[in-house]
């Protein structure tokens, strides 16, 4: 083959065919494979066009368009001894020069010299031709597969090869050329396989560009995960429309179903209407968990007695497939109904003694003890926030009782949800029932917040108790390990307080939460560590929202006790930072801070003496500081930091004039100290909001 053709850009296809991959891991594996290849190609200096990944239950694949045929040539420069040490007094090469030339494979006369680190050194430069891409691809594929996030690998047959599932075939095509590399025990070729049932036969590929179309026809495989996902959404929606219903679309279930089928076919089944007496959450979870079915609802949002299942085969007799699903679903729903009716026969309160046998954490006691702590903390928080304490205390005491119910024993995801149903069945007030449900909110990023006052209180207390306990025994999250979801709990506390507009002294709440662990000796500084941990969550939150991290740091320097107060300060500083006066005043505050740090105790005490002011600029600054101090005091007291900083921005001209016309560090100690006190007052005025010197 001519060299020009060998080095020309070509499409590249890589595929491994496996036994059924874990559905909940499939999308992540596909994304990781694409990310690894993208990174490895960049590191190898191989340019390419569009990079696409494919994923089905039986395959992971990647297609790179217009992949360069070889690496670019590189200039390799090696440095040897200093020129001064390379030749003796007679100009003859020394042993060091001869050794360096020998290591480069050339004579000393062929070496050059170049400046490096301030000294002239011998150097050797050569052109290293780039490696052909086809030679690099096997190692790139092997490296990418080894880096996939697979927590537990398996072996198969007599081989020592390990992967997430046994591998049955591999494809590696560079243009029309096969790259016959060993991949996880298989030799890569140009043959893939279609649908396990509809076309479980070899499909020969002539070039990478044929891959997706050849799999779809004749292979009956939709290889693109995103396309297959949208097909399922459309098919399920179409089935619902036929019944004049709508789909209770669950994006997580949609991902899982997409990972279970290669050629989706949607079918609608029915169950007995009597099962609609089961709480919606339990019914939906039963169908989702056991049968991967989508529930349907009417125009008013009420569930109907139909479901949509997605099959991996196009049956000649779809009615039999539907009957099979209905036959399996019926006993599942019967079990759920039995659990629900059995649970309702006992009150939540009667289950309290059983919580004494359920361990929360080895060093932190039982769930019963946790319930008592959360109840006490809920009362304290309720008093501060002006919420009915009795309802909060009652909800906290009963909040974990559904953990020992049959329904939650079967479906842990229903904790809190079933508790609220059972509380209403017991005749508990609606505020108590709602708070039992809302104690776990938000359950994940972007989840809804508690809507009721009691729910917000109990949710705060529940999260703070968990955080305080784990920090008290010295078990904060480390790296990616966070078994008690403390990061999520901390962010939940912040969201409830900030988005809910609740003014709560978090330092006092942390003290109360830690103090409630009377049988545990708290770890040293655990309170401060917990405060830092919670408020550190805000940095990423603000950055994600587009706020400069410096603005967060300006407020963080003051360590406000209330997250809501912290948020108001951040908003005020963000507004201030966008003003034309901000840069000059931030620089002035930085300068003042440095002067005060160097001055020691000179400016720490005493008020500014007007009698010691002689310059017009310093007299003007004192007058303006006094005026602004009086004007912003009520604004800061009310938490209106934005307007307060807006008023302080008007000090820019006075501050600039002061530094232009007044010498601070004069010889006279009394005058010098007085001017430092004036600057101290300026800085303390801004410090009532934030340390803007960090801008």
Burial tier of 625 (Cβ tally within 10 Å: 0-12, 13-18, 19+): buried
Continuous segment of H or E residues that includes residue 596: helix 582-599
DSSP code string of 651-671: GHHHHHHHHHH--SS-S-HHH
In this predicted structure, what is the pLDDT of residue 602? 59
In this predicted structure, what is the pLDDT of residue 601? 64
| Whole-number Å distance between alpha carbons of 578 and 270 | 60
Give the residues across from 419 on adjacent strands. Answer: none
DSSP code string of 523-553: PTTHHHHHHHHHHHHHHHHHHHTT--HHHHH
In this predicted structure, what is the pLDDT of residue 603? 60
Considering all CA atoms of the chain, what is the largest pairwise distance in Å, rounded to the nearest integer? 107
DSSP code string of 129-153: PPPBHHHHHHHHHHHHHHTS--SS-
| Whole-number Å distance between alpha carbons of 309 and 292 | 7
The dihedral over CA atoms of 18, 22, 25, 31, expressed in degrees to the nearest 10, equals 20
Task: Find all residues with CB under 8 Å of 206, minimum gap 6, and list them.
Answer: 176, 190
| Whole-number Å distance between alpha carbons of 320 and 267 | 11
Contact 682/675 with Cβ under 8 angstroms? no
In this predicted structure, what is the pLDDT of residue 20? 95
- Ranges of the chain whose pLDDT falls below 50: 1-2
| Whole-number Å distance between alpha carbons of 136 and 336 | 56
The dihedral over CA atoms of 448, 449, 455, 457, expressed in degrees to the nearest 10, equals 160
pLDDT, averaged across the chain: 91
Model-level pTM? 0.78
Positive or negative, the Cα torsion across 301, 306, 312, 314? Answer: negative
Contact 293/332 with Cβ under 8 angstroms? no
Contact 465/373 with Cβ under 8 angstroms? yes
Report residue 321 as tokens. Answer: 């497939």
| Whole-number Å distance between alpha carbons of 53 and 370 | 47
Three-state secondary-structure class, residue 127 = strand
Report residue 3 as tokens. Answer: 């060299």
Supply angle C-alpha 441, 446, 452, rounded to 5: 35
Nearest of 329, 322, 317, 300 to residue 239 by alpha carbon:
322
- Give the residue ranges of DSSP H helices in 46-187: 83-86, 95-104, 133-146
Domains of the chain: 3-70+132-216 (3.30.70.260), 75-127 (no CATH), 225-344 (no CATH), 355-405+417-545 (1.10.3210), 570-694 (1.10.730)
| Whole-number Å distance between alpha carbons of 73 and 75 | 7
Nearest of 382, 458, 385 to residue 419 by alpha carbon:
458
| Whole-number Å distance between alpha carbons of 454 and 433 | 10
Q: For residue 206, what is the DSSP state?
A: S
In this predicted structure, what is the pLDDT of residue 48? 94
Polymer length in residues for the chain: 695
| Whole-number Å distance between alpha carbons of 302 and 321 | 26
């Amino acid at each position: 083959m001519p060299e020009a053709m060998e080095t020309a850009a070509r499409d590249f296809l890589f595929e491994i065919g496996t036994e059924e991959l874990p559905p909940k891991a499939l999308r992540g594996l596909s994304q990781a494979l694409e990310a690894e290849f993208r990174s490895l190609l960049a590191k190898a200096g191989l340019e390419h066009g569009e990079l696409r990944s494919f994923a089905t239950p039986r395959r992971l694949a990647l297609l790179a368009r217009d992949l360069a045929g070889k690496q670019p040539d590189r200039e390799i420069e090696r440095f040897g001894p200093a020129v001064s040490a390379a030749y003796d007094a007679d100009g003859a090469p020394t042993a060091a020069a001869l050794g360096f030339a020998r290591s480069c494979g050339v004579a000393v006369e062929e070496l050059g010299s170049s400046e490096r680190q301030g000294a002239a050194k011998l150097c050797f430069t050569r052109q290293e031709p780039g490696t052909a891409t086809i030679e690099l691809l096997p190692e790139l594929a092997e490296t990418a597969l080894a880096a996939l996030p697979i927590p537990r690998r398996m072996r198969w047959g007599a081989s020592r090869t390990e992967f997430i599932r046994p591998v049955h075939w591999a494809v590696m095509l560079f243009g029309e050329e096969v790259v016959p590399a060993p991949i996880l025990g298989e030799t890569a070729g140009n043959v893939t396989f279609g649908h396990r049932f509809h076309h479980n036969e070899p499909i020969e590929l002539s070039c990478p560009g044929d891959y997706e179309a050849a799999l779809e026809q004749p292979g009956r495989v939709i290889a693109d995960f995103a396309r297959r996902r949208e097909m399922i959404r459309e098919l399920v929606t179409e089935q619902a429309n036929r019944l004049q219903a709508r789909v209770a679309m669950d994006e997580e279930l949609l991902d899982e179903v997409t990972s279970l089928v290669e050629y989706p076919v949607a079918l609608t089944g029915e169950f007995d209407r009597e099962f609609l007496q089961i709480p919606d959450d339990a019914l939906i979870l039963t169908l989702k968990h056991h049968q991967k079915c989508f529930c349907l609802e009417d125009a008013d949002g009420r569930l109907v007695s139909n479901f949509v299942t997605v099959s991996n085969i196009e049956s000649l007799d779809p009615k039999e497939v539907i009957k099979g699903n209905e036959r399996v679903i019926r006993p599942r729903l019967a079990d759920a109904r039995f659990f629900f009716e059995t649970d309702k026969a006992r009150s939540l309160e009667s289950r309290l003694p059983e919580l004494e046998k359920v361990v929360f954490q080895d060093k932190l006691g039982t769930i019963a003890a946790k319930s008592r702590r959360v109840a006490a903390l809920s009362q304290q928080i309720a008093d501060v926030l002006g919420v009915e304490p009795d309802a909060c205390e009652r909800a906290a005491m009963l909040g974990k009782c559904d953990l020992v119910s049959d329904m939650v024993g079967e479906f842990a995801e229903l904790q809190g949800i079933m508790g609220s149903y059972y509380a209403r069945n017991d005749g508990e007030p609606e505020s108590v029932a709602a708070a039992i449900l809302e104690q776990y909110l938000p359950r994940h990023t972007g989840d809804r917040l508690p809507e009721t006052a009691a729910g917000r209180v109990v949710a705060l207390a529940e999260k703070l108790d968990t955080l305080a306990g784990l920090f008290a025994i010295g078990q904060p999250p480390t790296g990616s390990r966070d078994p008690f979801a403390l990061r999520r709990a901390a962010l939940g506390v912040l969201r409830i307080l900030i988005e809910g507009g609740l003014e709560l002294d978090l330092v006092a709440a942390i003290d109360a939460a830690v103090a409630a662990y009377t049988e545990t000796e708290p770890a040293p500084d655990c309170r401060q560590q917990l405060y830092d941990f919670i408020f550190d969550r805000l940095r990423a939150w603000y950055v994600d929202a587009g706020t400069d991290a410096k603005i967060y740091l300006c407020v963080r320097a003051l360590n406000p006790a209330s997250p809501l107060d912290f948020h108001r300060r951040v908003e005020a500083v963000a507004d201030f930072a966008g003003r034309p006066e901000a840069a000059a005043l931030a620089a002035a505050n930085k300068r003042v801070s440095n002067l005060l740090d160097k001055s020691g105790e000179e400016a720490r005490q005493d008020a500014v003496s007007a009698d010691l002011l002689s310059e017009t600029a310093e007299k003007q600054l004192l007058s303006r500081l006094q005026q602004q101090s009086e004007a912003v005091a009520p604004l800061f007291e009310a938490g209106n930091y934005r307007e307060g900083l807006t008023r302080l921005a008007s000090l820019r001209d006075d501050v600039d004039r002061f530094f232009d016309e007044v010498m601070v560090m004069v010889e006279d100690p009394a005058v010098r100290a007085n001017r430092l006190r004036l600057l101290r007052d300026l800085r303390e005025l801004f410090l009532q909001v934030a340390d803007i010197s960090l801008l």
